[in-house]
Amino acid sequence: MLSFFGIELMQQVKPLKFRIDDALSNEQLHTNFRSAMSYLIKKRRNQFPDKEDLKNSRNTSSSIRSNSLAKLPELLIKLEENLEKNNIKVHWAETDEEANNIIYQILKEANAKTVVKGKSMVTEEIELNEFLDNKGIEILETDLGEFLVQLANEKPSHIVMPAIHKSRKEISRVFADHFPEFPYTENVDLITQQARKILRDRFRLADAGISGVNFAVAETGTLCLVENEGNGRMCTTAPPLHIAVTGIEKVVENLSDVPTLLNILTKSATGQEITTYFNMISSPRKNDEKDGPLSMHVVLLDNGRSKIHQNHDMQETLKCIRCGTCINHCPVYTQLGGHAYGTVYPGPIGITLEPQQKGITELGDLTSLCTLCGACGEVCPVQIPLPRLINKLRSETIEGDYMEQFIEGVRSKRKPIESFIWQIWKYIYSHSLLYSIFIKIATTFSFLSPKKIGKWSRYRVTPKPSRHSLKDLARQAGIKNE
């Protein structure tokens, strides 16, 4: 149990269908997400006034990421060599459990009891907080949004804006409940200043800091972190021990790759020209230096990534730089919010990545949280063909074949009745005589078709076969063989 500040962690997981119902009937949630998404979409658009520039920038960024993936094994070896040369210890973790244990061992050996953490989705992915908490290590989120989410005993609902689902009033309440020593306020500046006061000594006295990584540069053995608040710099600079956790795909080959990616990342993520801080760490404190961590570790996490890398049709999933812009532009996410997905990564990238990591049996249904509108693919800064990947994955849930070697549960969502109906459909549509008879029946008896088709027609007009087939209508209009 997370016990500091009186937080107790309880997660109740309802089936997807009910989570969707809950999300759709929550007006407050709707308002919060709709306004937040419009805001982010607009801010991003303002950063890309020139279509041609955006196109070039996306092309270059996409190439950089493809290059990383094409050379992934050699780049990881080079990264490890250069990090070790810089006195940063490297650990490889194949699974989330292994990563957690490695981190725990490092903390234990350093006798670290209190940890401050910078925002990191990969540590959410391995559920590091829960793991360390169970081992009696206090781990505190320090990004304001993450801190609020942790206080409220919830999970982030967006990968860049974790507390986006909460209104100012809700946040004020959470704050007042945990810190009665401060007066209740709904003033954002005041809440921010209270958080500053609360966390300052925590940074100063923490035994260790944990962070994620935005880009790991193989050429120089450098870890790059992007942030606005300064908590990331605090976590990676003040405590005597710094542990960075990163997915193996985050490596880039050269330092010269970084400016392009940084530029498109911040513009896509929050519509900023650049974030307040870009922090490039290449070494722990050297003998002649006065501050910085005394020792540094990097955990390279696989957790399913190497299998995605093997899967040629889905490999581009790994190009992702976690900017969240696909999420911001997704109509399904805007309706549901992040929590309904029940996964660490929501939205288009979430429904692409998560079923590949955790298997289709558990998460295959997520692929239906897509309207196939294509917006995610159009905005992705590294040109991941998300609509195509989602579609591919969706079909794998029913009728895949070779992907079995890479993804668990291929075909596990196949329903015999549904398949049977489609088989008949296919048979009729591929036999012209049968097709003519079928059309004749459908047009003649269209008045017999049901007025309601369950929930589907609750908000939609029920479709009804026309009295005349398209073929007839075309003939009447004088169109022949076109």
Partner 1 sequence: MSRSKEIILERLKSKIHDANQVDDISINTLNGWSKEEMIQKLSEKLKLSKAETFILPTTKMIDWLNEELPKRGIKNILSGNDIAKEISQSLTNKTKLIKYDNSYESFSEKLFNEIDASITRTVGAIAASGSVVLHPTSDEPRLMSLVPDIHIALVYEDHIYETFDQIISTQNWSENLPTNALLISGPSKTADIEQVLAYGVHGPKELIVLILTS
Task: Report the site for partner 1 in 147-186 (rule: CB under 8 A).
Answer: 148, 161-163, 166-168, 171
Q: CA quadruple 269, 273, 275, 278: dihedral positive or negative?
A: positive
Q: Say if CB 237 and CB 293 are below 8 A apart.
A: yes
> Looking up tokens 């760490």, which residue turns up?
281
Q: How many residues are given for the chain?
A: 482
* Residue with smaller CB distance to partner 1, 339 or 413: 339
The token pair at 62 is 């996409």
Q: Is 418 exposed, middle or buried (0-12, 13-18, 19+ CB in 10 A)?
A: exposed
Minimum CB–partner distance for residue 339 and partner 1 (Å): 17
Minimum CB–partner distance for residue 321 and partner 1 (Å): 15
Task: Report the site for partner 1 in 131-150 (rule: CB under 8 A).
Answer: 142-145, 148
Task: Report the site for partner 1 in 252-311 (rule: CB under 8 A).
Answer: 254-260, 262-263, 270, 273-286, 288-292, 300, 302, 306-307, 309-310
Beta strands of 132-284 (E only): which ranges?
138-141, 208-211, 215-217, 222-227, 241-247, 251-252, 277-281
Q: Is residue 438 part of the contact set for partner 1 (CB under 8 A)?
A: no
Of 19, 30, 71, 89, the residue at the interface with partner 1 (CB under 8 A) is 71
In three-state secondary structure terms, 116 is strand
Q: Which residues pair with 226 in a beta bridge?
A: 278
Minimum CB–partner distance for residue 86 and partner 1 (Å): 8
Minimum CB–partner distance for residue 461 and partner 1 (Å): 37
* Residue with smaller CB distance to partner 1, 306 or 368: 306
Minimum CB–partner distance for residue 363 and partner 1 (Å): 21
Question: In this structure, what DSSP letter does residue 364 have?
Answer: G
* Residue with smaller CB distance to partner 1, 236 or 369: 236
Return the closest-CA partner of residue 119 out of 198, 227, 37, 6. Answer: 227
Distance CA 144, CA 131 (A): 22
Q: Say if CB 94 and CB 297 are below 8 A apart.
A: no
Minimum CB–partner distance for residue 390 and partner 1 (Å): 19
* Residue with smaller CB distance to partner 1, 259 or 463: 259
Task: Report the site for partner 1 in 31-60 (rule: CB under 8 A).
Answer: 32, 35-36, 39-40, 56, 59-60
Distance CA 244, CA 236 (A): 8
Minimum CB–partner distance for residue 445 and partner 1 (Å): 51
Alpha helices in 14-143 (DSSP H): 16-24, 27-47, 51-70, 72-85, 96-109, 121-125, 128-134
* Binding-residue pattern over the window 374 to 413 for partner 1, x denoting contact by CB under 8 A: ----------------------------------------
* Residue with smaller CB distance to partner 1, 208 or 369: 208
* Residue with smaller CB distance to partner 1, 247 or 347: 247
* Pairing mode, strands 222-227 and 277-281: antiparallel
Of 76, 79, 264, 370, the residue at the interface with partner 1 (CB under 8 A) is 76
Distance CA 370, CA 355 (A): 14
Minimum CB–partner distance for residue 449 and partner 1 (Å): 47
Minimum CB–partner distance for residue 282 and partner 1 (Å): 5
Instruction: From residue 214, give the alpha-carbon distance in Å to each of 122, 206, 278, 302.
Output: 11, 23, 10, 16
* Residue with smaller CB distance to partner 1, 84 or 418: 84
Task: Report the site for partner 1 in 320-379 (rule: CB under 8 A).
Answer: none
* Residue with smaller CB distance to partner 1, 308 or 398: 308
Task: Report the site for partner 1 in 196-215 (rule: CB under 8 A).
Answer: 196, 199-201, 203-204
Q: Say if CB 325 and CB 39 are below 8 A apart.
A: no
* Residue with smaller CB distance to partner 1, 236 or 398: 236
* Residue with smaller CB distance to partner 1, 333 or 369: 333
Task: Report the site for partner 1 in 87-126 (rule: CB under 8 A).
Answer: 91-94, 98
Count of H-run helices and E-run strands, the chain: 22, 10
Minimum CB–partner distance for residue 408 and partner 1 (Å): 15
* Residue with smaller CB distance to partner 1, 266 or 352: 266
Q: Count interface residues toward partner 1 (CB under 8 A).
A: 100
Return the closest-CA partner of residue 114 out of 7, 199, 16. Answer: 199
* Residue with smaller CB distance to partner 1, 161 or 349: 161
Q: Which helix (H) or strand (E) holds 92?
A: strand 88-93
Minimum CB–partner distance for residue 6 and partner 1 (Å): 21
Minimum CB–partner distance for residue 99 and partner 1 (Å): 9
Q: Say if CB 314 and CB 308 are below 8 A apart.
A: yes
One-letter amino acid identity for 371? T
Task: Report the site for partner 1 in 230-249 (rule: CB under 8 A).
Answer: 230-231, 233-234, 237-238, 240, 248
